[in-house]
Amino acid sequence: MKPYPHHAWNRLIGVPVEIRKDAEVVRAGVVDDAMPVPAALWLAADASGGRALFTAAEGYEAWIRPQALDGTLCYKMAADQLHGAPTLGR
């Protein structure tokens, strides 16, 4: 399934995302913490870099990619089921 921008950043905590600016992916990782609206989010530290802050005011967007889940709730976003999933782009 194709990725799409998600605007409720505070609902993405624990979810793998792609951070984009000007249509380019600048980093992919798991959201560590976020503010609503969107205003700002932090990606957790991983092999590609330390903990990083991205803000909507600077033009960053958080994109998600729907993933098939086990069970009868296929393709529904659930942070608790996606937590620990590999980051996008690997």
In a domain, 73, yes or no: yes
Residue range 65-78, pLDDT digits in tens: 887 666 665 555 55
pTM assigned to the model: 0.72
Name the β-bridge partners of 10.
none
Residue range of the domain that includes 39 = 4-81
CA atoms within 13 A on the CB side of 48: 14
Give 8's contacts (C-beta < 8 A, 6+ positions apart): 36, 38
pLDDT of residue 17: 95
Within a domain: 46: yes
Give 1's pLDDT tier (boundaries 50, 70, 90): confident
* pLDDT for residue 89 is more than 80: no
Q: What is the pLDDT of residue 90?
A: 43
* Helix/strand/coil for 71: coil
76 lies in some domain? yes
Establish if 58 belongs to a structural domain. yes
Structural domain includes residue 87: no
Q: Report the domain count for the chain.
A: 1
The answer to whether residue 24 sits within a structural domain is yes
Q: Is residue 75 part of a domain?
A: yes
CA distance 74 to 67: 8
pLDDT at 4 over 60: yes
pLDDT tens readout for residues 8-65: 999 999 999 999 999 999 999 999 999 977 799 999 999 989 999 999 999 999 999 8
In a domain, 42, yes or no: yes
